[in-house]
A and B are shown apart, each in its own frame.
Chain A
Amino acid sequence: MEPDRLKYAKTDEWVSLDGEVATIGISDFAVNALTDLVYIDLPSPGKKVEAGKPFGVVESVKAASDMYSPVTGEVVESNSKLADDLGKLSSDPFGAGWLLKVRVTSPGLSADLMDRAAYEQHWAARAH
């Protein structure tokens, strides 16, 4: 995935819509902020996810962060390879580190999602 062509949520997830299937991941900034990841919990295929609601958790030794879905729909695939190799999440957040593929129930993406430039601004503003 090209970071510049993705849409981003305020909660640091990225999404790319191809037809009615959205691919979801976590931004490079957010992944770098999560050190020493130890565990990820993703929903299995068939589960419903809802825009703005948590769909899973990523844990380090002394922190746990919820991940929020940018779209509403049904999970068609989750990246089961991540469980055994969380390094992929950090090393390739836009590629092998993808999290979910979701069949969306409504077409298009929410207007609340940001493009890369807006997201970079959002991240920088939050860091201060």
Chain B
Amino acid sequence: MRNTLATKLLFDLSQPGRRGAVFPKSDVPDQALDELIPRAHQSTSAPALPEVTEPEVIRHFVNLSTKNMSVDTHFYPLGSCTMKYNPKRHERLSALPGIVDMHPYRSVEDSQGMLELLFTMQAMLAEISGLPAISLQPAAGAQGEFTALLVSSAYFRDKGETRTKVLFPNSAHGTNPASAALAGFECVQLKSTAQGFVDLNELSAHLDQSTAVFMVTNPNTLGMFERDLPEIARRVHAVGGLVYIDGANMNAICGITRPGDFGGDMMHYNVHKTFTGPHGAGGPGSGPIAVRDFLGDYLPGPVVVRREGPGTSGVSSDSTLVYDLAVPARSIGRVRSFFGNVGILVRGYCYLRTLGAAGVRAMSENAVLNANYLLAKLKDVLPVPQGDRCMHEFVASARQLKEERGISAMDIAKRLLDYGFHAPTVYFPLVVPESIMIEPTETESRETLDAFAQAIRDIVREDPELLHQAPHETPISRPDEVRAARTPVLKWITSEG
């Protein structure tokens, strides 16, 4: 069964006169267009979009889709990304009329159901984090980081303090320093201990009155719990700084321990990861933040509030109004237009309502069980420098294989595609050489984990040359990335030149 149908671009398929959508004739009195919109504002030609039919569009994109690996088709143990199953009920429920078709400027009177949902979502996220004040506005984790850093700035400014530095360990996600720089901070990267934990001495050496925030992922990017966090927080707080928890790895600890209980002052969630977004081929995400009560007034607005009892609302005389929108008193302002990535928040809400407290805890327990099981099945062929235990993910190293047989992390990643598994994250974190970061998530069966472990055991015994050339069974072989970057071709170029 050959699938070559999607090798052409839409532009290559275009035939003048074809179309995939037809709109009704105008039903209002006819007027010359030039009388409505002056010629000077009009374009002299229509944009040269491809001209194709609906069946062509469908065949094109459906065939294209089959060139992807995805959670629904393959095991996808992409470390740090929590590629868990995306329940189908979420798609139906988030598309219900009354939810999917709500204009964002609909009056609060006519949005009570949505506001109730979002209010409950705020409350659930506050409970899971142990941090009481929530903003659902950030569009993704990176924007959550940025938003929280702005919250910290506003807080320090109000205290009359000028704090210029953000500290983070060298195992941090790239978004941490990038967000700090965007928020106008100086970035200070700290060396980790040999085991990959925050180095307390290194931390203390860099902490002073100019420290605004220490950003740390917990569990960290090596899949280990930073057990010194209370001491870390004590030292950061002692110089007047705040502790930020990057919540990318929340899937390990929900219902077990809470950022607010282990010293965090602020954090973001990745709803598209922990609460099964889905990931949408790169997005959309949703990156709500949770902060301590004394930071709540600085959150971006609006947030959802509940008015106590009828008739107390300042915005309406409607006595049934319970939920309302409010801007926190000393808000940093907006970080995006409208309320937030509500479509993803609705899915996260559905997930938490399906799981309940016991389910949420079982989610993290089984994520950790699956990761430890896979670690146990692999450690003899793919050493894990951090040891025999992990949280929801672990970072193996192909360093020895590379030295002894020339097999790199990249080779293993590419060969796994031939075996029908998506590759783990490779070459991150940078603190482990030839790193392979594996996060199985809780929604995989033991049988799948066994098959994956067997695939890696088989691969490391294969001819290195075969691996350097891998993958062999995917729609394309390894692409020439150097050529792509040296002479970038970033759009379709008409064949006429």
Query: A residues near B, CB below 8 A?
Result: 36, 38-39, 59, 61-62, 86
Q: Per-residue CB proximity of B288-314 to A under 8 Å, as 1/0?
A: 000000000000000000000000000
Residues of B within 8 A of A61 (CB): 481-482, 485
Jot down 13 A-B pairs with beta carbons below 8 A, ordered by A: A36-B482, A38-B482, A38-B485, A38-B486, A39-B485, A39-B486, A59-B485, A61-B481, A61-B482, A61-B485, A62-B427, A62-B481, A86-B486
Tell me the complex Cα distance, A60–B203, Å: 32
| B485 nearest CB neighbor, chain A only | A38
Nearest CB of chain B from residue A107's CB, rounded to whole Å: 32
Tell me the complex Cα distance, A86–B427, Å: 26
| A39 nearest CB neighbor, chain B only | B485
Tell me the complex Cα distance, A86–B486, Å: 9
Residues of B within 8 A of A38 (CB): 482, 485-486
**B92-130 interface with A by 8 A CB criterion:** none
Which applies to chain A's interface (DSSP): helix, strand, loop or mixed? loop
Residues of A within 8 A of B486 (CB): 38-39, 86
Residues of A within 8 A of B427 (CB): 62
| B483 nearest CB neighbor, chain A only | A38
| B427 nearest CB neighbor, chain A only | A62
Query: B residues near A, CB below 8 A?
Result: 427, 481-482, 485-486
Residues of B within 8 A of A36 (CB): 482
Tell me the complex Cα distance, A127–B155, Å: 44
Residues of B within 8 A of A59 (CB): 485
For A39, A59, A61, the residue with the greatest tally of chain B CB atoms inside 10 Å of its CB is A61
Residues of A within 8 A of B485 (CB): 38-39, 59, 61
Nearest CB of chain A from residue B207's CB, rounded to whole Å: 25
| B481 nearest CB neighbor, chain A only | A61
Per CB-CB distance, the 3 closest pairs between chain A and chain B, nearest first, are A38-B485, A61-B481, A36-B482
| B487 nearest CB neighbor, chain A only | A38
Tell me the complex Cα distance, A37–B481, Å: 11
Tell me the complex Cα distance, A72–B481, Å: 36
Residues of A within 8 A of B482 (CB): 36, 38, 61
Nearest CB of chain B from residue A13's CB, rounded to whole Å: 22
Additional A-B contacts beyond A61-B482, A62-B427, A62-B481 (8; CB < 8 A): A36-B482, A38-B482, A38-B486, A39-B485, A59-B485, A61-B481, A61-B485, A86-B486
| B484 nearest CB neighbor, chain A only | A61
Residues of B within 8 A of A86 (CB): 486
Tell me the complex Cα distance, A10–B64, Å: 50
Tell me the complex Cα distance, A36–B485, Å: 10
Tell me the complex Cα distance, A39–B481, Å: 13
Nearest CB of chain B from residue A55's CB, rounded to whole Å: 19
Nearest CB of chain B from residue A53's CB, rounded to whole Å: 14
| A38 nearest CB neighbor, chain B only | B485
Tell me the complex Cα distance, A38–B482, Å: 6
Residues of A within 8 A of B481 (CB): 61-62
Nearest CB of chain B from residue A98's CB, rounded to whole Å: 21
Tell me the complex Cα distance, A62–B174, Å: 13
Tell me the complex Cα distance, A88–B486, Å: 14
| B482 nearest CB neighbor, chain A only | A36
Nearest CB of chain A from residue B468's CB, rounded to whole Å: 16
Tell me the complex Cα distance, A62–B409, Å: 15
Residues of B within 8 A of A62 (CB): 427, 481
Tell me the complex Cα distance, A103–B481, Å: 38
For A36, A38, A59, A86, the residue with the greatest tally of chain B CB atoms inside 10 Å of its CB is A38
Tell me the complex Cα distance, A118–B485, Å: 36
Nearest CB of chain B from residue A96's CB, rounded to whole Å: 18
Tell me the complex Cα distance, A38–B485, Å: 6
Tell me the complex Cα distance, A39–B485, Å: 8
Nearest CB of chain B from residue A85's CB, rounded to whole Å: 11
Tell me the complex Cα distance, A69–B427, Å: 30
Nearest CB of chain A from residue B402's CB, rounded to whole Å: 16
Nearest CB of chain B from residue A125's CB, rounded to whole Å: 18
Nearest CB of chain A from residue B414's CB, rounded to whole Å: 15
Tell me the complex Cα distance, A62–B481, Å: 9
Nearest CB of chain B from residue A40's CB, rounded to whole Å: 11
Tell me the complex Cα distance, A59–B486, Å: 10
Tell me the complex Cα distance, A36–B482, Å: 7
| A59 nearest CB neighbor, chain B only | B485
Tell me the complex Cα distance, A61–B427, Å: 14
Residues of B within 8 A of A39 (CB): 485-486
Nearest CB of chain B from residue A35's CB, rounded to whole Å: 9
Tell me the complex Cα distance, A42–B485, Å: 17
Tell me the complex Cα distance, A36–B486, Å: 9
Tell me the complex Cα distance, A61–B481, Å: 7
Tell me the complex Cα distance, A61–B487, Å: 12
Tell me the complex Cα distance, A85–B486, Å: 10
Tell me the complex Cα distance, A67–B81, Å: 33
Tell me the complex Cα distance, A59–B482, Å: 11
Nearest CB of chain A from residue B487's CB, rounded to whole Å: 9
| A35 nearest CB neighbor, chain B only | B482
Nearest CB of chain B from residue A61's CB, rounded to whole Å: 5
Nearest CB of chain B from residue A90's CB, rounded to whole Å: 13
Tell me the complex Cα distance, A61–B482, Å: 6
